[in-house]
């Protein structure tokens, strides 16, 4: 006969209920958890049994039942958190003993946020970790940087390690994508238990040649020794664009077009005046019948009542829509003494905020661990996933959203959104672009990605404390991308009618990436004479990554108007490419602690990589750190307010090996030619060999302090670091007379210095009301210290006009150097012979003559800003009251700039009238009497254009990334049916502001600005706004 | 196990594994030709566009050609100019690599006639690349072997005379070691007559006016050397004037009797087509004719050139299109349509199949006439006869006397849109007078800068000056 015991678990200090306490009947499989108020109810058979109460942050207590039916208990906070362990490279460590700099993100609640990717979840959570959403299309990878960017040309993305499996690193390319896939692709955020970021070299250096950009350790959920817990989480909601770009509306466009056409007309010959009518102008130009010259003549309908035959279109309004997101996750976890399991299935379905964009991810995971006997354990983690993402080609130069912004807002009424598609021609006064809406609807850019992550391991305890572990890990990605754009949304009307199919284009590309990692470690943990804690690990790892890509593209159009596959192409060109690399590693670490007071850790790794030159295949990566827990000293024991005080210092060296697989070898490229009207093969060296080529080295010195006050009610950590990247893999400009523009050399030095501050405060912890605030702040300064011998500055080549970025000793990397726009030229300025660019006249912008030589040219470029922010921050507030909970995450950055080449499309001096212009032109200079705001000059200007501060915008922003309100239904629904039930509503990204008026997203990267692989510089040339969403969800546990 | 660290590229060869057979060397020399692919566009962008043949000064400040046409002093960062420097040096690097490897591993070539031919082909091409450089930039760094980065950092710009020395020695070797003809499968390789014609042009250019700049003209008076080389080419009997002007440029009549050397292209989406037929033509012309966009906006032909054609001149109608309507919008300006055959559009806008003739027989004849006028030999009557043969084909009547400006004016129309105009003006010593007189008449939009003789040369690309301060000095005027 079971008896039911009820009770309340409270915090021994504050007296408030503790939710989520595990209550186990000792020596049985029975267990329950306390509800949101701390109440519990457990059925026991034995009235003399013992209940075990445990909860993270509290000391575990055992209580004998002694025939009682009500047991109220107060748990004392575990101020030392001694047993809390954190994941480190190749092992775990007591949190109290950590001497390196790490940041931890408890990801358990991620399943209640509409977060499609793991990287997205990291935004604003960790000091020193900057996460940028560089694309607004669903499913795309984010850019993650730990402690600034230290590499000029190699990747700045961290190494990701998932359950001990180091995934192949991959850098974001200058077009904002990850050409060989992002390590976090397809990973289901709902399966993540915890994310740990190793920031300093002492914690990261055990990952050697891949650790220079930090290491992100991801731990997935595991089964516990308890009865099965089945959990269903369902959420659904809507998404919208955070904002629109302020462009001129149709009336304003007509106003500007009229002004410009009239000005051109007047300038085009003597005796021509703006007041001449269209008919008069036609006569003067000797044009026949109804012919028009749109540079010199107006459309009479503009000024007619109701503009008959014309329609006004807000193209942005047509391109954007309300998207939706749905997610279903079912998981089961549990186990017994011998087998523990976590099994989950997840379906995410997301429709983007622009037409025809979506991301779907189907994923499953099984983490199973089997204890064969007291010494032997086996485990297997298996995570297959399949995703589909459609991107019709939205972001970047000449892509759809660029055209949406620039498209003429006045069109013929009969064509409307069909402008210049199908049988409709362009409106004569419009840009000749095809309707971006029809392109958006009909273009295909479908990426299908089937990825399997598989790990299996065996643990064998050779002796007490001495464990051997071997694992085999396999990551297989098979992705394909199909692109298709039909004829009828391309080309000109005449082409569509006369040569149908010629403008249809299609391609199909595939990517297979395979990483195989075998790791073998021997670890030994012991305590000698009570006071000496020793923990060591040594190991060997083998790492092989193979990449095979193929691409096929149509050439010369399609022969069918309905078939979208390449069998219908007029002809097909294609190729395949394969590369692989091998990394061999030996590594070891010793951690020593004396009385939990004096802590010491040292590690060493030796990596050999096939990527590097024959003379430098192997490298050594040492690190060391010390810690002193003052709070354990006798003299501190009396200071009761201080519950934790630890000083840390560390030094270490890590590497960056992201330079491509064969960069040290002089390879030959194909340079074919034609003789006798037939192709002949040609090959010549496309690189000079560099047998000395080796990794970038990154040395970090970090000092930090961890403090806790009032029994850890307030905890804080502060770190100061300097990170010196040397032997940079720099494409040093060399005289082109060598045959090459640059040569990849280990040279140059970049310094990142900064501080990080993390604070967690339990502001209120009284009874039913709890309020916790977490703050993280980080500041980073980045500076080029050395470049090639002589330290000559390097102008970053630009695909668009003169360079606007420079690598210069003493300046931040990729600092912006442009001409300064200082106002608008007046006639007095011209008469006073101020410096001019080209044939400037009154009403044109005025520029700063930096070198004072009386003329404006490229030599007047001055430092104007830098891409990286000075300060990034995230603040999370969590409030709980009875069954309700509320959390708010605010995140932002200040101090950085964006130089937007998108300005070239919508904001350039001398821009023609057809392209629409930014709203800032509303208040342009119109005449000396009507000078506008002084930000933009007159519409009709012919002096040309030089890169200047017009396109420089602050990248500062703040966003309320997340607001979640939840309610625990535990009080309403009987425990008989449900262990737990919670409903919640989340607003993601709903509020915020930025200062970027020249585009939609200050973090956007979608266009390769340098066009030069040596100096990858991505920038914004039309990137989507971020999505904001409101979702509702329910979380049921059985 | 550490052997695994020696990974060899799977999808490309390496210098260690290449140059081991006839075929490897064949591929090596072919790659040197491949650097010619940018040559046609470059002549149009830097010679035709610089000259009085085009008035393409303004298009809202976005086009790279605007500063070229209107003599902006800020051209050092212009992409056309960097391309000229980088593509030619890339070709020179390939030639030098090939010659180095030939010296080292040439023994593997089993065909005894092939090795000297290979060397001569490489040296012909190297000379052509250096000659292109010296005409654009004047003094350039002289590199005749593969050099390391550090070596290159110690090589300043050589004197123009030294650059010519290498060009001439390369071409002299080529004239002696290149065959007169090739099998059908090899048509397009350099012949001895191609080398002789180019060498003649080199001598003539060297002999041209100096303008007191360190430019391509040295005033050395080698007209006679050129004259005799040109006579050799003419007397070889391998070439003749085609009966009609259009047939020279016909897509179905490539490698015809007028072609001495050309850059070869084919279409088919192989990456071996070209854009030069359309670079000077406006995009709307193609859309009006039902083709995808080919280019950018129009680079209008100058009124000066349009007005210079005699009414009877049949070359104008073939070379130039005046006016068309696209989508109801009338384009009244004219452009070069000489190389465009809308039915021969390839797989894409970069896939036009027609060859670009860099040296044709009419040019050789008129160069000879020029040598005569410059006192290099022959008689005035011979020169008049030559020009009359050209005029006859164009539907024009005979002339009885000939001055240098008249010859250049005739060349202007014969080679209109072929990228020779600027070089002709510079060589003949007429550039300053011609351009200075032209600008005020043509420039109704008042966009052009006053002409200076410094503008005969282009600036060294800024990126090259930035590599190492003081290694190269910028040309005057920039």
What is the residue-wise DSSP string for A316-366?
HHHHB--EEEEEEEEEEEEE-SSEEEEEEEEEEEEE-SBTT-EEEEEEEEE
The secondary structure of B131-154 as a DSSP string is HHHHHHHSS-B---S---HHHHTT
pLDDT of residue A324: 95
- What's the CA gap between A3 and A67, in Å, rounded? 9
Contacts A688 to B, Cβ<8 Å: 148-149
Which class for A781: exposed (0-12), middle (13-18), buried (19 or more C-beta within 10 A)? middle
B470 touches chain A (CB under 8 A): no
pLDDT digit string, tens, across residues A327-370: 999 999 998 889 999 999 999 999 999 999 999 999 999 999 99
First to last CA, chain B: 59
Residues in B 137-196 with any Cβ partner in A closer than 8 A? 140-141, 143, 146-149, 152-153, 155, 182, 184-189
In which band, very low, low, confident or very high, does the pLDDT at A498 lie, cut at 50, 70 and 90? confident
Contact between residue A855 and residue A810 where contact means Cβ atoms under 8 Å apart:
no
| Helix, strand, coil shares, percent, chain A, to 5 | 10, 45, 40
| Best mean pLDDT range from A57-71, A84-98, A225-239, A476-490 | A476-490
Mutation target vs A (from B16, B61, B285; most A CBs, 10 A cutoff): B61
A662 touches chain B (CB under 8 A): yes
Ramachandran bin of B245, using left for φ above 0, alpha for ψ from -120 to 50, beta for the remaining angles: alpha
Distances (CA, A) of A497 to A174, A428, A973, B287: 38, 18, 67, 11
Q: Tell me how many residue pairs between chain A and chain B have CB atoms under 8 A apart.
A: 301
Q: Please give the average per-residue pLDDT across B192-211, as a whole number.
A: 97
Sign of the four-CA dihedral B188, B192, B193, B199:
positive
Contacts A495 to B, Cβ<8 Å: 287, 290-292
Nearest to A203 by CA among A631, A544, A651: A651
A441 touches chain B (CB under 8 A): no
Q: Please give the average per-residue pLDDT across B185-201, as a whole number.
A: 97
pLDDT of residue B412: 97
Min Cα–Cα distance to chain B from A686, Å = 9
Q: Nearest chain A Cα to B8, which residue?
A: A662
Residues in B 89-148 with any Cβ partner in A closer than 8 A? 89-90, 92-94, 96-98, 140-141, 143, 146-148
In which band, very low, low, confident or very high, does the pLDDT at A82 lie, cut at 50, 70 and 90? very low
Structure tokens of B249? 């440029």
pLDDT digit string, tens, across residues A573-631: 999 999 999 999 999 999 999 988 999 999 999 999 999 998 989 999 999 999 999 98
Contacts B351 to A, Cβ<8 Å: 555
Q: Looking at the DSSP assignment, which residues form a beta bridge with residue A699? A: A653, A724
Distances (CA, A) of A913 to A265, B217, B341: 13, 45, 33
Beta strands per DSSP E along A559-597: 569-594
Least CB-CB distance to B15: which of A493, A555, A668?
A668
Nearest to A154 by CA among A210, A216, A89: A210
Min Cα–Cα distance to chain B from A732, Å = 9
In which band, very low, low, confident or very high, does the pLDDT at A96 lie, cut at 50, 70 and 90? confident
Mean of the per-residue pLDDT values of chain A: 91
> Cβ–Cβ of A582/B446 closer than 8 Å?
no
Least CB-CB distance to A678: which of B147, B153, B185?
B185
> Cβ–Cβ of B328/A291 closer than 8 Å?
yes
pLDDT digit string, tens, across residues A521-577: 999 999 898 889 999 999 999 999 999 999 999 998 999 989 999 999 999 999 999
Residues in A 599-658 with any Cβ partner in B closer than 8 A? 608-610, 614, 617
- What's the CA gap between A533 and A598, in Å, rounded? 10
Q: Is the pLDDT reported for residue A677 higher than 60?
A: yes
- What's the CA gap between A828 and A327, in Å, rounded? 65
Q: Is the pLDDT reported for residue A285 higher than 90?
A: no
> Cβ–Cβ of A683/B13 closer than 8 Å?
yes
Q: Looking at the DSSP assignment, which residues form a beta bridge with residue A67? A: none
Mutation target vs B (from A209, A580, A737; most B CBs, 10 A cutoff): A737
B293 touches chain A (CB under 8 A): yes
pLDDT of residue B62: 65
Contacts B255 to A, Cβ<8 Å: 676
Helix (H), strand (E), coil (C) string for A2-34: CEEEEEEEEECCCCCECCCCEEEECCCCCEEEC
Instruction: Give the dihedral of Cα atoms A732, A735, A738, A743; nearest 10 deg.
Output: 0
B262 touches chain A (CB under 8 A): no
Distances (CA, A) of A656 to A290, A356, A612: 66, 39, 11
Contacts A284 to B, Cβ<8 Å: none
The secondary structure of A862-930 as a DSSP string is EEEE-SS-SEEEEEEEEEEETTEEEEEEEEEEES-EEE-TTHHHHS-TT--SSS--BGGGGG---SSS-
B34 touches chain A (CB under 8 A): yes
pLDDT of residue B60: 57
Q: Is the pLDDT reported for residue B112 higher than 90?
A: no
Q: Is the pLDDT reported for residue B137 higher than 60?
A: yes
A4 touches chain B (CB under 8 A): no
Min Cα–Cα distance to chain A from B282, Å = 13
Tell which wins on pLDDT, B478 or A606: A606
- What's the CA gap between A605 and A589, in Å, rounded? 9
Tell which wins on pLDDT, B467 or B103: B103
Beta strands per DSSP E along A133-281: 143-146, 159-162, 165-166, 192-198, 215-220, 229-241
Contacts A299 to B, Cβ<8 Å: none
Contacts B76 to A, Cβ<8 Å: 858
Contacts A740 to B, Cβ<8 Å: 90, 93
> Cβ–Cβ of B141/A741 closer than 8 Å?
no
Least CB-CB distance to A662: which of B9, B290, B346?
B9
Contacts A804 to B, Cβ<8 Å: none
Residues in A 140-199 with any Cβ partner in B closer than 8 A? none
pLDDT of residue B58: 65
- What's the CA gap between A833 and A856, in Å, rounded? 12
Contact between residue A810 and residue A793 where contact means Cβ atoms under 8 Å apart:
no
3-state SS, residue A216: strand
- What's the CA gap between A262 and A299, in Å, rounded? 12
Min Cα–Cα distance to chain A from B369, Å = 32
Min Cα–Cα distance to chain B from A624, Å = 28
Nearest to B189 by CA among B254, B241, B245, B261: B261
- What's the CA gap between A778 and A753, in Å, rounded? 11
pLDDT of residue A78: 64
pLDDT digit string, tens, across residues B311-346: 999 999 999 999 888 777 778 899 999 999 999 988
> Cβ–Cβ of B9/A667 closer than 8 Å?
yes
Residues in A 538-597 with any Cβ partner in B closer than 8 A? 542, 544, 555-556, 570-571, 573, 576-582, 584
pLDDT of residue A558: 94
Min Cα–Cα distance to chain B from A674, Å = 6
Question: Locate tokens 């006073």: which residue?
Answer: A832
In which band, very low, low, confident or very high, does the pLDDT at A209 lie, cut at 50, 70 and 90? very high
Tell which wins on pLDDT, A441 or A109: A441
Q: Nearest chain B Cα to A425, which residue?
A: B327
B77 touches chain A (CB under 8 A): yes
Beta strands per DSSP E along A391-504: 410-412, 444-463, 466-485
- What's the CA gap between B236 and B193, in Å, rounded? 8
Mutation target vs B (from A270, A499, A738; most B CBs, 10 A cutoff): A738
Mutation target vs B (from A739, A790, A854; most B CBs, 10 A cutoff): A739
Tell which wins on pLDDT, A701 or A768: A701
Tally Cβ neighbours within 10 Å of residue A528.
9
Q: Please give the average per-residue pLDDT across B69-87, as a whole number.
A: 91
Mutation target vs A (from B325, B328, B444; most A CBs, 10 A cutoff): B328
In which band, very low, low, confident or very high, does the pLDDT at A953 lie, cut at 50, 70 and 90? very high
pLDDT of residue A389: 96
> Cβ–Cβ of A617/B290 closer than 8 Å?
no
Quickly list H helices, A181-285. Answer: 201-204, 250-267, 278-285
3-state SS, residue A82: coil
Q: Nearest chain A Cα to B91, which residue?
A: A739
Least CB-CB distance to A610: which of B6, B14, B24?
B6
- Of the listed ranges A63-77, A155-169, A340-354, B101-115, the least confidently predicted one is A63-77
Q: Is the pLDDT reported for residue A764 higher than 60?
A: yes
Least CB-CB distance to B272: which of A490, A666, A679?
A679
Nearest to A218 by CA among A313, A126, A82: A126
Least CB-CB distance to A582: which of B7, B66, B141?
B7
Nearest to A79 by CA among A624, A708, A523, A942: A708
pLDDT of residue A179: 85
Q: What are phi and psi of A114, to 5 degrees?
A: -80, 65
């Amino acid at each position: 006969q079971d008896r039911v015991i009820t009770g309340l678990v409270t915090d021994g200090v504050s007296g408030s209920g503790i939710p989520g306490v595990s209550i186990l009947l000792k020596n049985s499989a029975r267990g329950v958890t306390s509800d949101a108020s701390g109440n519990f109810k457990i059925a026991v058979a034995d009235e003399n049994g013992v209940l075990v109460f445990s909860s993270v942050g509290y000391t575990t207590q055992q209580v004998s039942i002694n025939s009682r039916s009500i047991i109220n208990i107060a748990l004392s906070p575990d101020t030392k958190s001694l047993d809390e362990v954190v994941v480190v490279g190749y092992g775990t460590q007591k949190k109290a003993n950590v001497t390196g700099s790490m940041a931890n993100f408890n990801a358990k609640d991620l399943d209640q946020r509409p977060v499609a990717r793991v990287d997205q979840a990291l935004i604003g959570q960790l000091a020193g970790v900057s996460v940028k959403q560089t694309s607004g299309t669903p499913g795309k990878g984010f850019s993650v940087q730990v402690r600034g960017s230290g590499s000029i040309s190699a990747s700045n993305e961290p190494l990701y390690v998932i359950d001990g499996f180091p995934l192949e690193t991959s850098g974001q390319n200058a077009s904002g994508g990850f050409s060989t896939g992002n390590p976090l692709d397809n990973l289901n955020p709902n399966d993540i238990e915890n994310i740990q970021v190793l920031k300093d070299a002492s914690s990261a250096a055990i990952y050697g040649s891949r650790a220079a950009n930090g290491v992100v350790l991801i731990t997935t959920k595991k089964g516990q020794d308890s009865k099965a817990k089945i959990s269903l989480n369902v959420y659904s909601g809507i998404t919208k664009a955070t904002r629109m770009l302020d462009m001129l509306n149709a009336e304003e466009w007509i106003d500007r077009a009229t002004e410009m056409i009239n000005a051109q007309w007047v300038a085009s010959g003597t005796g021509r005046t703006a007041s001449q009518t269209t008919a008069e102008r036609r006569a003067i130009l000797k044009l026949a019948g109804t012919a028009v010259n749109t540079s010199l003549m107006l459309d009479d309908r503009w000024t007619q009542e109701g503009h008959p035959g014309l329609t006004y279109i807000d193209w942005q309004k047509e391109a954007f829509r309300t998207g939706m997101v749905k997610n279903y996750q079912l998981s089961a976890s549990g186990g017994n003494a011998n087998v523990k399991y976590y099994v989950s299935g997840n379906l995410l379905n997301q429709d983007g905020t622009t037409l025809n964009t979506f991301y779907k991810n189907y994923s499953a995971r099984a983490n199973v661990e089997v204890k064969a006997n007291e010494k032997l354990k086996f485990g297997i983690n298996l995570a297959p996933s399949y995703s589909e993402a459609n991107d019709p080609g939205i972001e970047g130069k000449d892509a759809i959203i660029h055209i949406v912004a620039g498209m003429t807002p006045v069109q013929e009424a009969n064509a409307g959104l069909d402008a210049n598609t199908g049988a409709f021609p362009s409106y004569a006064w419009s840009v000749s672009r095809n309707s971006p809406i029809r392109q958006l609807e009909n273009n295909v850019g479908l990426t299908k990605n089937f990825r399997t992550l598989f790990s299996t391991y065996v643990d064998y305890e050779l002796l007490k404390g001495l464990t051997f572990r071997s694992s085999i890990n396999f990551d297989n990605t098979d992705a394909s991308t199909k692109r298709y754009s039909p004829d009828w949304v391309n080309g000109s009307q005449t082409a569509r009618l006369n040569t149908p199919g010629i403008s249809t284009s299609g391609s199909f590309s595939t990517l297979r990436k395979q990483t195989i990692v075998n790791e073998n470690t021997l670890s030994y943990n012991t305590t000698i004479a009570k006071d000496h804690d020793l923990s060591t690990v040594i190991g060997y790892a083998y790492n092989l990554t193979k990449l095979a890509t193929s691409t096929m593209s149509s050439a010369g159009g399609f022969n069918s108007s309905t078939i979208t596959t390449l069998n219908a192409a007029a002809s097909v060109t294609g190729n395949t490419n394969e590369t692989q690399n091998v990394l061999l590693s030996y590594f070891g670490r010793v951690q020593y602690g004396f009385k939990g007071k004096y802590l010491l850790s040292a590690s060493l790794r030796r990596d050999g990589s096939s990527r590097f030159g024959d003379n430098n295949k192997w490298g050594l990566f040492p690190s060391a750190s010390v810690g002193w827990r003052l709070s354990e000293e006798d003299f501190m024991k009396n200071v009761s307010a201080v519950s934790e005080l630890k000083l840390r210092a560390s030094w270490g060296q890590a590497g960056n090996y992201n330079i491509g697989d064969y960069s040290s070898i002089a390879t030959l490229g194909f340079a074919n030619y034609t003789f006798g009207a037939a192709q002949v093969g040609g090959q010549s060296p496309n690189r000079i060999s560099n047998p000395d080529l080796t990794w970038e080295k990154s040395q970090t010195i970090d000092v930090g302090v961890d403090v806790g006050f009032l029994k850890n009610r307030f905890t804080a950590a502060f770190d100061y670091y300097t990170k010196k990247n040397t032997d940079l893999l720099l494409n040093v400009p060399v005289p082109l007379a060598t045959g090459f523009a640059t040569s990849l050399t280990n040279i140059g030095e970049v310094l990142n210095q900064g501080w990080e501050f993390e604070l967690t405060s339990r502001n209120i912890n009284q009874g039913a009301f709890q309020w916790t605030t977490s703050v993280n702040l980080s500041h980073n300064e980045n500076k080029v210290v050395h470049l090639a011998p002589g330290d000559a500055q390097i102008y970053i080549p630009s695909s668009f006009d003169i360079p606007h970025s420079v690598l210069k000793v003493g300046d931040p990397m990729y600092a912006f150097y442009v001409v300064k726009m200082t106002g608008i030229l007046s006639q007095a300025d011209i008469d006073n012979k101020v410096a001019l660019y080209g044939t400037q006249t009154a009403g044109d912008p005025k520029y700063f003559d930096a070198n004072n030589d009386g003329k404006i040219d490229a030599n007047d470029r001055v430092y104007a800003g830098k891409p990286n922010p000075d300060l990034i921050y995230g603040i999370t507030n969590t409030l709980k009251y009875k069954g309700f909970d509320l959390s708010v995450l605010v995140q932002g950055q200040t101090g950085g700039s964006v130089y937007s080449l998108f300005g070239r499309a919508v904001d350039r001096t001398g821009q023609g009238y057809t392209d629409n212009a930014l709203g800032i032109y509303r208040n342009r200079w119109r005449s000396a009497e009507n000078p506008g705001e002084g930000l933009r000059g007159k519409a009709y200007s012919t002096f040309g254009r030089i890169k200047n501060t017009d396109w420089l915008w602050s990248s500062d922003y703040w966003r309320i990334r997340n607001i979640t309100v939840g309610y625990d239904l535990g009080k309403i629904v009987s425990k008989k049916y449900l262990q737990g039930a919670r409903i919640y509503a989340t607003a993601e990204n709903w509020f915020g502001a930025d200062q970027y008026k020249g585009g939609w997203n200050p973090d956007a990267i979608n266009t390769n600005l340098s066009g030069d692989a040596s100096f990858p510089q991505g920038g914004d040339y039309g990137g989507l706004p971020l999505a904001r969403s409101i979702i509702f969800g329910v979380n049921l546990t059985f | 196990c550490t052997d695994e660290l020696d990974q060899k590229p799977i999808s490309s060869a390496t210098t260690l594994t290449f140059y081991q057979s006839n075929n490897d060397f064949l591929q090596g020399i072919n790659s040197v030709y491949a650097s010619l692919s940018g040559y046609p566009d470059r002549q149009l962008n830097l010679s035709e566009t610089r000259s009085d043949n085009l008035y393409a000064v303004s298009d809202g400040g976005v086009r790279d050609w605007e500063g070229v046409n209107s003599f902006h002093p800020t051209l050092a960062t212009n992409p056309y100019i960097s391309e000229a420097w980088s593509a030619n040096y890339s070709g020179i690097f390939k030639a030098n690599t090939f010659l180095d490897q030939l010296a080292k591993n040439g023994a593997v070539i089993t065909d005894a006639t092939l090795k000297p031919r290979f060397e001569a082909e490489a040296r012909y091409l190297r000379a052509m690349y250096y000659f292109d450089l010296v005409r654009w930039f004047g003094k350039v760094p002289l590199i005749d072997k593969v050099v390391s980065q550090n070596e290159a950092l110690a090589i300043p710009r050589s004197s123009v005379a030294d650059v010519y020395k290498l060009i001439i020695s390369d071409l002299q070797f080529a004239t002696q070691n290149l065959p007169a003809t090739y099998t059908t499968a090899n048509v397009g390789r350099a012949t001895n007559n191609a080398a002789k014609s180019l060498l003649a042009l080199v001598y003539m250019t060297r002999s041209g006016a100096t303008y007191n700049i360190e430019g391509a003209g040295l005033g050395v008076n080698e007209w006679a050397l050129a004259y005799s080389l040109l006579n050799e080419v003419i007397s070889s009997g391998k070439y003749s004037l085609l009966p009609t002007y259009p047939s020279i440029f016909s897509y179905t009549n490539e490698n015809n009797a007028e072609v001495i050397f050309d850059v070869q292209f084919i279409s088919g989406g192989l990456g071996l087509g070209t854009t030069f037929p359309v670079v000077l033509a406006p995009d709307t012309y193609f859309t009006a004719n039902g083709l995808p966009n080919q280019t950018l906006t129009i680079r209008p032909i100058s009124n000066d050139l349009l007005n210079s054609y005699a009414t009877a001149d049949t070359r104008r109608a073939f070379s130039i299109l005046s006016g068309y309507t696209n989508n109801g919008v009338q384009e009244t300006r004219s452009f070069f349509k000489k190389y465009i055959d809308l039915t021969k559009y390839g797989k894409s806008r970069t896939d036009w199949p027609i060859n670009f003739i860099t040296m044709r027989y009419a040019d050789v004849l008129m160069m000879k006439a020029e040598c005569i006028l410059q006192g290099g030999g022959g008689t005035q009557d011979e020169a008049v006869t030559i020009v009359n043969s050209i005029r006859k084909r164009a539907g024009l009547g005979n002339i009885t006397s000939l001055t240098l400006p008249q010859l250049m004016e005739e060349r202007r129309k014969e080679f209109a849109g072929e990228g020779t105009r600027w070089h002709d003006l510079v060589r003949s010593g007429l550039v300053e007078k011609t351009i200075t007189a032209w600008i005020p008449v043509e420039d109704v939009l008042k966009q052009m800068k006053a002409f200076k003789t410094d503008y005969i040369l282009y600036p060294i690309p800024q990126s090259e000056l930035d590599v190492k301060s003081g290694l190269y000095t910028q040309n005057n005027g920039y």
